[in-house]
Amino acid sequence: MPSRENTVDDPETTDSGRVPTGFNLVPPPGWDTIPLQAGTKDAIQRIVRTSVSQLPAGFPKDDIPKARMQLVKELKQAVRKARDSNGLTLYLPVERVHGMLIPASFIASEPLASPTGNAKHESVLVDLARDADDASARELDGTAAVRTLSKLPADPDRGVEVPSWRVQYAVPIPHSAPAKWLTFSFSTLVAPDMDTEFTETLVELFDAVMTTFRWSHT
Domain boundaries, the chain: 32-87, 102-218
Domain at 102-218, CATH homologous superfamily:
Mog1/PsbP, alpha/beta/alpha sandwich (3.40.1000.10)
pLDDT per position as a tens digit, 104-114? 999 999 998 87
Return the pLDDT at 1.
44
- DSSP states of the chain: ---EEEE-S--EEETTEEEP-EEEE-PPTTEEEEESSSSHHHHHHHHHHHHHHTS-TTS-GGGHHHHHHHHHHHHHHHHHHHHHTTEEEEEEE-S-BTTB--SEEEEEEPPEE-TTS---HHHHHHHHHHH-SSEEEEEETTEEEEEEEEEEPPBGGGTB-S-EEEEEEEEE-TT-SS-EEEEEEEEEE--TT--HHHHHHHHHHHHHHHTT-EEE--
List pLDDT tens digits, range 53-104: 888 888 898 999 999 999 999 999 999 999 999 999 999 998 877 767 788 9
Predicted confidence (pLDDT) at residue 14 exceeds the cutoff of 60: no
